[in-house]
Structure 1
């Protein structure tokens, strides 16, 4: 006995429902994997901002440390320590290299 086509299609769809979803998963898997790879490879703007902020804080911390060392070395230099004078010169040069990389904060006056 042969079933009419309008009975066969719904029956086939019901029986093959699981297979169709599996086929759809297999077909879309490469697209999902590629999208995940692109997502991992790109950096969001907020991540870039956080990284820039961390780098800026490190430079500011280094500048503060160098300024404290420089003041100490100048004091020792003024007391006659020639080695401290040489160190102060080197420290000042490093300070001058770091200063242009730190943005100036506007005064709120």
Structure 2
């Protein structure tokens, strides 16, 4: 029994690295799956940023069309009707 005592006391130190490695191997698929989900989904911040960009482009388009409409109305006021062009936010 005395011969095995040092071996028994040293066993947890020797096996600790193996347990750590085994735990890393077990966790790896879950970590990879988590990264894949992060890459494929859109966060709320990204969604807000994309929506803001889309609305700025739409507002710029509306502004350009309205300026062209106003210019046309100044040229020919008799043919000027209410603006019926693109309106940002409506689609």
Instruction: Identify the TM-score tier after normalising by the shorter chain.
Output: 0.7 to 0.9
**SS in structure 2 at match of 1:12:** helix
- Rounded to whole Å, the distance in 1 between the matches of 2:48 and 2:26 is 37
Partner residue, 1:21: 20
Deviation per CA, 1:38-70: give whole Å up to 9, x if none: 122221222211111111111000100111111
CA distance in 2, matches of 1:25, 1:100: 52
The total of aligned residue pairs comes to 88
Structure number having the greater helix percentage: 1
Aligned-residue RMSD, C-alpha: 2.9
Q: Deviations over 1:66-104 (max 9, x none)?
A: 11111222333x28xxxxx7xx99xx55x2xx32625xx
Higher relative contact order (CA 8 A, sep 6+): 2
1:3 and 2:1 correspond:
no
Structure 1 runs (4+) greater than 6 angstroms displaced: none
| TM-score (normalised: structure 2) | 0.74
Provide the rounded CA distance (Å) in 1 between the counterparts of 2:14 and 2:65: 76
